[in-house]
Amino acid sequence: MSLQDTPRSNRLHIGIFGKRNTGKSSLINALTNQAIALVSDIAGTTTDPVYKSMEINGIGPCVFIDTPGFDDVGEIGMLRISQTEKAIEKTDIALVLFCDLVSEDEVKWIEGLKEKHIPIIAIINKRDLLLNIEEIEKTIMEKCKLTPILVSALNKSGITAIREELIRSLPVDYESKSITSDLANSGDLVLLVMPQDIQAPKGRLILPQVQVIRELLDKKSIVMSITTDMLDSALEALKNPPRLIITDSQVFKTVYEKKPQESMLTSFSVLMAGNKGDLSYFTESAKAISSLTETSRVLIAEACTHAPLTEDIGREKIPRFLKEKIGLGLTVDILSGTDFPEDISSYDLIIHCGACMFNRKYMLSRIEKAKSANVPMTNYGVTLAYLSGILDKIDLPK
């Protein structure tokens, strides 16, 4: 990804679903006007979800997810179907293709999408070849309660209608959610404290820092960036205290002890928690830390799959801080990327990273899973603020 690209996590995710050989890959090629998906008359050509970032007029940056058919068969087919189910968790809008009378299996998938409150656009593909379109259309309306769009991905008829329906189906919260929210406005001086230690990527900033800086510039805020060791000098050099200080959660306590009384304080991780997830739930869940014992189990989930470095915040620091508080017998499991247990009921607490690599839909699906299992879930930054005894003293975005 170049510096000019919109991160995939900030793009609208459009999932393409349907049985094998309904023309899902062909539809993506028609919608994007590019041959980006492998097409074949052989059923099951798409064996794993394929993600393609694009720009669509009227929508902007988006990601198309080309999925395996949900009628796949055999042991490998079941694995492919499970990947399609995981793709649904990231889907903001679903395009569901039909080429035949609606089956009970298709009805179940439609019901699953509706349960997750995902807007659905039903599409009858191959209109140039089908002889029973009216009958197919009738079964979709009766069994799925959807009015389909008639399309031929091959000759690109009906593609404009799909684009228009995509715009009409945009989720209410699709417009980019502000990261800093009401904490910073035009003319406000914002001080960013960003330790450039061994964990910091060489020659660049991490994604949350880049996104926060860009948003503050768009807001016309006055931005000053420093490392932790320059905090005293920076505060002395300023004529007036900054309205807001945003720091790395790892140095929360250090910055809190030195900040001017009138300056608000938050962290990049806390801001991402509000932007991607449910901050009030994370804050309430952090209280579960006080109930942990040496027989408790904690899951630490991080979106990145980076190679862990010395003093890694998720793999080393937070586990160490927890064990210093609770006891060495505390069990801490660590998972990264899209790995997330199907059954989380054995955990007493889940601590998640800022999820800058996930789209909001996917992060909310994990939160919903935790709530359904009655397992509290919190966030790196919220956890560190709680462990530092300053959670009630930092400022949270609305």
Fold exhibited by the domain 8-168: Rossmann fold (3.40.50)
Tell me, what's the pLDDT at 38?
Answer: 47
Helix (H) or strand (E) holding 280: helix 279-285
Element (H, E) at 266: strand 264-267
Quickly list DSSP for 126-173: -TTT-S-HHHHHHHHHHHH---PEE-BTTTTBTHHHHHHHHHHT--TT
Q: How far apart are CA 152 and CA 77, in angstroms?
A: 27
- Do 114 and 90 form a contact (C-beta atoms < 8 A)? no
Pick the CATH number of 280-387 from 3.40.50.11410, 3.40.228.10, 3.40.920.10, 3.20.20.70: 3.40.50.11410
pLDDT at 363: 93
Domain 185-271 belongs to what topology?
A: Rossmann fold (3.40.50)
Collect the ranges in the chain with pLDDT lower than 70: 1-5, 34-48, 172-176, 197-202, 305-311
- Residue written as tokens 């980006």? 36
pLDDT given for residue 148 in this prediction: 96
Domain residues of the chain, as ranges? 8-168, 185-271, 280-387
Using DSSP, state whether 107 is helix, strand or coil: helix
pLDDT at 205: 86
Domains 8-168 and 280-387 share a fold: yes
Lateral strand order in the sheet of 120-124? 50-56, 60-66, 12-18, 93-98, 120-124, 149-150
Instruction: Give the number of other CB atoms < 10 A from CB of residue 333.
Output: 14
List, in sequence order, every residue forming a beta bridge with 246; answer none if it has no partner.
192, 266
